[in-house]
Structure 1
Amino acid sequence: MGIREDMPVLARHEGVWDGVYIYYNAAGVKIDEHQSRLLCRFPAQGPHPYHQTNFYTWADGRTEVRDFPARYADKRVWWDNELIKGWAAEVALDEYRRTVMLYWQRQGDPSLYLYEMIQMSDDGQNRCRTWHWIRNGQLETRTAIQERLVSRDWQSYDK
């Protein structure tokens, strides 16, 4: 079987998502916010069965693009690039089939790791994501992300 068959919850994320990322420090104080557009794709050909590109825009005009091609093995998506090393897996205990869990570490900073939980709405039009950034065993930052589906047709947005 392939990635779509083995990871049907993740396959529901395919498409273009617009949203907002809000970062809070450990005390709950907002420390950053920016808009996002994510392309989540499952290319039919090529070396990466999953490929995500994130476009970020801040109110002051700053922009950033982050690209995350991934491999697939053992019912997980795996990243190992210059920024992160980690994985994504569906949560089998979720009988509603809404949840994907991620773990990753920043390359070059073994004291910092992150767990992310993604919840997809039943209609597939919205999702929320929560990141817990942990440094040396202590919560450092939380990120709350709310997104809405713009299109399933990522090919029209792919650059």
Structure 2
Amino acid sequence: MTQFDDFHAHMPAMRAHAGTWEGVYTHINRDAEILDKHAVNVRCEFPSSGDYVYVQHNHFTWDDGREYRATLPGTYRDGRLWWDLETFSGSAWETKDGLILLNLDRKDDPGANFFEIIAMGSTGQQRSRTWHWFKDGALFKRTLCDEWKVSD
């Protein structure tokens, strides 16, 4: 069995995220005060061959004209989707109820990590992502991600 077959067999809920998503990310501090808010376009791909079973393309835009783009390829092993990139490393797995969970360590901010929960709505057209950020073990912010599917 290839990593692609194994990935599709063990992470079936992840496949529902294929396509392009648009949304808004809102970063808040522990007191729920807005720290940052920006738009996002996320494209989730599931290649059938090559080095990666998953590739995510992010394009963030701010009202002041700033932009940031990132490509996040992941491999599959030991029942999880793994990343080891310049800015972060960690893994994702899914629950029996179809939630996607992530645990990521920030390489670009030593001592920082975040836990992410991705929940898909019943129509498969909207999803919610929440990131819980810690620095040296202390919670310091959350990110609320509201996204809707714009294409398959």
Q: TM-score, normalised by structure 1?
A: 0.89
Q: What SS does the aligned partner of 1:12 have?
A: helix
Q: 1:112: how far off?
A: 0.8
| Cα deviations by residue, 1:86-126 (Å, 9 ceiling, x for unpaired) | 0010013x3xx3x1000101115341110000000111000
Aligned equivalents of 2:29, 2:128: Cα separation in 1: 19
Letter in 1 for 2:38: H
For residue 135 of structure 1, what is the aligned residue in structure 2? 135
- Give 4+ residue runs of structure 1 displaced > 4 Å after superposition: none
Aligned pairs (5 A) from 1:72-83: 72-83=76-87
Letter in 2 for 1:77: L
Aligned equivalents of 1:116, 1:48: Cα separation in 2: 21
Letter in 1 for 2:128: C
Instruction: Please give the root-mean-square deviation of Cα atoms over the aligned residues, in Å.
Output: 1.1
- Structure 1 residues not aligned, in runs of 5+: 153-159
Aligned equivalents of 1:34, 1:4: Cα separation in 2: 32
Task: Decide which of 65, 69, 89 is 2:69's aligned counterpart.
Answer: 65
For residue 21 of structure 2, what is the aligned residue in structure 1? 17
Aligned equivalents of 2:78, 2:15: Cα separation in 1: 16
Aligned equivalents of 1:85, 1:123: Cα separation in 2: 31
Q: TM-score, normalised by structure 2?
A: 0.93
For residue 101 of structure 1, what is the aligned residue in structure 2? 101
Q: 1:6: how far off?
A: 1.4
Aligned equivalents of 2:25, 2:87: Cα separation in 1: 18
| Cα deviations by residue, 1:56-111 (Å, 9 ceiling, x for unpaired) | 0000110000110111012211000101000010013x3xx3x1000101115341
Pair 1:108–1:17, CA change in 2 (3 A): closer
Task: Decide which of 19, 31, 36 is 2:35's aligned counterpart.
Answer: 31
Matched, 1:125 2:120: no
Matched, 1:53 2:54: no
For residue 113 of structure 1, what is the aligned residue in structure 2? 113
Aligned equivalents of 2:8, 2:27: Cα separation in 1: 31
Letter in 2 for 1:102: L
- Structure 2 residues not aligned, in runs of 5+: none
Letter in 2 for 1:129: R
